Chain A
Amino acid sequence: MISIQAANKYFHRGSVNEVHSIRDLSMNVEQGDFITIIGSNGAGKSTFLSCLAGTHALDSGSITMGGTDVTRWPEYKRARFIGRVFQDPLMGTCGSGSIAQNMALAQKRGQRRGLTRGVKTSDREFFRQRLRPLGLGLENRLQDRAGLLSGGQRQALTMVMATLVRPELLLLDEHTAALDPKTAAQILDLTRSIVAEHGLTTLMVTHNMHQALSLGNRLVMMHRGRIIFDVRGQDKAGLTVEALLDKFQSQADAEVSDRMLLG
């Protein structure tokens, strides 16, 4: 289980540009939860994921993963628990390295790296076996540089790399946003099957309401650094895009009336 308690994150704290990005956010993520996170721009979705990954340190609050307090752990140390796929397909792989080299790097996630050979001959069959289900023919291109692959292929490779060593938590930050609709659908199918196959605890940020509704067992809506809506199971399954938009709208209205009162 992953537990986030009273988390706060500021940017440019104390300056005129101060942004209170995450506000008193608390949340428990159960083992095996597949949570989709939606919200308008600036709601703090990506910041929330970055805080979990350790890219940004929290200003206050705590994060525990599997009973371990990781609040003060740097990003590289938390990596032993976390698999990550970024929005930018170029971000998750090393363009100058071969597919095999990239996978070998991912295979050592969270472990010591020593002076033994980077890509062992015995690993190649394992890499092929994990690439075959993608149906992209990458299993025959282990020596090709990752930089030669298309955006969709690189994102598929990143998905495989992020889950090559089973992560306690899989973070997907709008990982289909930069892809064309057809490729995005393929990556989404891949996401569904990999998460289901390994029973991975997953947090997925998306701007696409259909995606948010069709994937996962739990949906979280964020607004201005807070969670304003959190549904799971049957309640989520019954949700429609209209219902979500209504929820969004009512939040916006509430804010307008707040501002009027304060004004």
Chain B
Amino acid sequence: MTLYAFLGALEQGFLYGIMALGVYLTFRILDFPDLTVDGSLPLGAAVGAVTITSGHSPYLGLLLATGAGFLAGAATAILNTKLKILHLLASILTMISLYSINIRIMNGPNVALLGTPSVLTDLESLGPPLYQITPVFFFLVAALVTGVLIWFLHTQYGQAMLATGDNRQMITSLGVNTDNVIIFGVGLSNALVAFSGALIAQNQGAADVNMGVGTIVAGLASVILGETVFGKATIARACVAVIVGSILYRTAIALALGTRLGGFAFTPSDLNLITAFLVIAALTAPMLKRRFSR
């Protein structure tokens, strides 16, 4: 693997790591399997891109994208808590609605961001080549988001959110309206995913309605890989593990795409299959380790 490819994997790892933190929040903390993310990642990209192409600041784009993601997540949670639709189905309904909504927002299936300002534009003046600065920049962003999430989960409200995912009857009898906690939590999760989507669009120079396909699988793969490799003894460790998992996942994919066996080479369309095998390996690794250590 070349340094260039490795730096690329790092960059992707941090970017998609923010999305994976959102998946961690619903999947692990709230025990709410949420497929909305496949729609809220391109939603964030779309809102962020359209904000820029209509002449506003890329930072405003990130902010609006985050807000839009929150609303998408809240919509799923309201379908579940208030209208009593099964969480998985509720999230699928929001996800397919977002496909239509995203095309409306972009007035087409994609928006190109060529020659427009992005959050990376200001970094170019720093000197070193962009491919070296961007991983550092995205590391700082991912570290900040991780830090804020760890802080939040240790607040009174954050603790109530942890309890909501663990023992809903108990926390209700202690006076917490769990419906509101779930709506806020799933909203926050999708806000992170959309923020990540907006950053990805600015980084790759385009927003596309299909860029969200497989987001949930990539997110889950990162969460599970991270837990297996890095551990989850405390909340802080589990959150950092998500970012570590995301980097491992992107590195594994970069390695796979660079592999040549005689005339055979993986193509990007093989990624789903590779992802599935990665998740299976991460899930069964602890079991295999126990079996062979006996």
Contacts and interface: CB of A to CB of B under 8 A. Distances in A.
Interface in A75-131: 75-77, 79-80, 82, 84, 86, 90-97, 101, 104-106, 108-111, 113-119
A75 B173 contact: yes
B157 A114 contact: yes
Contacts, number: 84
A101 B155 CA distance: 11
Interface stretch (B1-9, B112-120, B129-137, B164-172): B164-172
A114 B173 contact: no
B175 A110 contact: yes
A94 B167 contact: yes
B156 A115 contact: yes
Candidate in A86, A91, A95, A108 with the most chain B CB atoms within 10 angstroms: A108
A94 B175 contact: no
B156 A108 contact: yes
Contacts of A114: 155-157
B107 to A, nearest CB: 39
Interface in B241-278: none
Contacts of A80: 175
Contacts of A161: 174
Main secondary structure of the interface of B (DSSP, over half): helix
Interface string B154-195: 111111101100110111111111100000000000000000
Contact of B170 (A74, A93, A116): A93
A219 interface: no
Nearest to A95: B166
Candidate in B156, B172, B173, B176 with the most chain A CB atoms within 10 angstroms: B173
B176 A94 contact: no
Interface of B: 152, 154-160, 162-163, 166-167, 169-178
Interface of A: 53, 74-77, 79-80, 82, 84, 86, 90-97, 101, 104-106, 108-111, 113-119, 161
Given A76-B178, A119-B154, 9 more contacts: A76-B175, A92-B170, A95-B166, A105-B160, A105-B174, A106-B174, A115-B157, A116-B156, A117-B154
